[in-house]
Amino acid sequence: MGLEVNIDHCYSIKDIRKQKGDIYNMLMNTYLKPQIVFEKGDGCYVISKSGEKYLDFSSGIGVNCLGYSHPAILEAMVEGSSLMHLSNLYDTEQDRILADKLVKRTGLDSVFFANSGAEANEGAIKLARKYSFDHYGSGRDEIITLKNSFHGRTITTLSATGQDKFHKFYMPFTAGFSYAEPNHLADLLSLVTEKTCAILIELVQGEGGVFPLEKDYVTQLFNLCQERDILFIVDEVQTGIGRCGQFFVSEEYNVLPDIVTFAKGLGGGMPIGAIVAGKKCKDTFGLSDHGSTFGGNPLACRISNAVVDKLNRDFLISVRENGHYLKESIARLNNKYIKEVRGLGLMLGMELTGVSASDVRNMCLEKQLLILTAGNNTIRLLPPLIVNKSQIDQCINILNEVLLSI
Ligand SMILES: *Cc1c(COP(=O)(O)O)cnc(C)c1O
């Protein structure tokens, strides 16, 4: 019990193993975790085993968009419980219903379901290369991504990720990727060759520090892609499903990508990812060209249907309003450690100076507020999209107390 309330440090699994004589934990040592065991969730709060209530401005890394124990999700879980899985060999209707919704909401044309962001991106890369193969033959397979991007943890999506720290140990990585400086058109143009088949970008770089791309730059990239039949792929794994105040952030940028990927918020907590393709590659994958055992799982799709139904016009307006309120409230703190606030909707980055983001995160944890970092000096706020103004005030009060105590 004592360990659960006394959070002086974060411990790695290895520390816990040592402490507990290696008996209790056979997890690989890949995550640093605080010594709190969480048991339940309710709205924007998670509750520890010892009964303490934490305000969650991390949403399971942008996943729990309707918060915890949302009635629509609970209802879908119960309704779907007797047919959790059947496989893609049979029709369970839920995937078709969800695909129709995604097509309507995006203005794109066809959908493939995966189970995670990395898998959706991996599939999008395959889709782009197959499109190019079908139209131009082999060899036109290069993909340009941006520096500071993040696209996932498979060997290929690590390759797509434009950060050197992810290009270690696991060689050989998938070939065919090059990385352009964000918001620098000439740099990207210098990488375009006859072999370029796609450009893959996040419109707001998430893990890289919450950096929205400039609108003009995105328009120019989009036009370049149109002119040269280079597929314009937008990774909306983090920005999509209402996070930035639109159904997907491409709307905010006024571009209709050739391929969009979703995951994180799509299942409201259920693992699911999606590749949504426009006219050009809606039929590029034919029978057996791609597949997944769990992809399109009826329970995941049923829950995702409930999530997507909640994201109506009024809901998205509230995301924009609350995002604006959160951003303004941070700016009003006028604290010397805050260098900048940026982002869209409820995907905000607070860049710090003179203090490390992880120290601030750990101090907030002690005051029962969960927040994220992105890079060494940026706090990332991804509250559930159902957050209200009084919860935002509560978050701001804690942040203020913490920053004033340094
Ligand atoms: C989280 C994330 C991914 C990876 O998603 P997983 O579900 O962890 O595989 C890919 N792209 C972006 C932009 C992300 O934020």
User: What is the residue with the minimal CA distance to atom 15 of ligand 1?
Assistant: 238
- Spacing, Cα 152 to ligand 1 middle (Å): 5
Specify the ligand 1 atom closest to the Cα of 157.
10
- Spacing, Cα 151 to ligand 1 middle (Å): 6
How far are the Cα atoms of 108, 196, 224, 258, 281 from residue 228, in angstroms, in the given order?
A: 20, 9, 6, 13, 15
pTM of the model: 0.95
- Report the pLDDT value the prediction gives residue 140, as an integer from 0 to 100: 98
Q: Which helix (DSSP H) or strand (DSSP E) does residue 34 occupy?
A: strand 32-34
- Spacing, Cα 237 to ligand 1 middle (Å): 6
- Report the pLDDT value the prediction gives residue 14, as an integer from 0 to 100: 60
- Report the pLDDT value the prediction gives residue 3, as an integer from 0 to 100: 33
61, 238, 347: which to mutate for ligand 1, most atoms within 8 A of CB?
238
User: What is the residue with the minimal CA distance to atom 11 of ligand 1?
Assistant: 151
- Spacing, Cα 274 to ligand 1 middle (Å): 12
End-to-end CA distance of the chain: 28
- Spacing, Cα 117 to ligand 1 middle (Å): 4
64, 125, 148, 150: which to mutate for ligand 1, most atoms within 8 A of CB?
150
Distance, CA of 207 to chain centre = 8
- Spacing, Cα 334 to ligand 1 middle (Å): 32
Query: In this structure, what token pair is assigned to residue 285?
Result: 């994958």
Specify the ligand 1 atom closest to the Cα of 152.
4
Name all residues whose Cβ lies below 6 A of ligand 1. Answer: 116-118, 121, 150-152, 202, 206-207, 235, 237-238, 263-264
DSSP 337: T
259-262: strand order across its sheet:
110-114, 273-277, 259-262, 231-235, 196-201, 142-146, 177-180
- pLDDT averaged per 10 residues in sequence order, the chain, 406 residues: 41 60 73 92 98 98 98 98 97 98 98 98 98 98 98 98 98 98 98 98 98 98 98 99 98 98 98 98 98 98 98 98 98 97 98 97 97 95 98 98 97
Give the contacts of 270 (CB within 8 A, at least 6 positions apart). 299, 300, 303, 304
Q: Which amino acid is at 172?
A: P
User: What is the residue with the minimal CA distance to atom 6 of ligand 1?
Assistant: 117
- Spacing, Cα 336 to ligand 1 middle (Å): 32
How many Å apart are CA 122 and CA 114, to the nearest integer? Answer: 10
- Spacing, Cα 227 to ligand 1 middle (Å): 29
30, 161, 200, 264: which to mutate for ligand 1, most atoms within 8 A of CB?
264
119, 207, 380: which to mutate for ligand 1, most atoms within 8 A of CB?
207
- Report the pLDDT value the prediction gives residue 85, as an integer from 0 to 100: 97
- Report the pLDDT value the prediction gives residue 6, as an integer from 0 to 100: 39
- Spacing, Cα 121 to ligand 1 middle (Å): 8
Are the C-beta atoms of 41 and 67 separated by less than 8 Å? yes
- Report the pLDDT value the prediction gives residue 32, as an integer from 0 to 100: 86
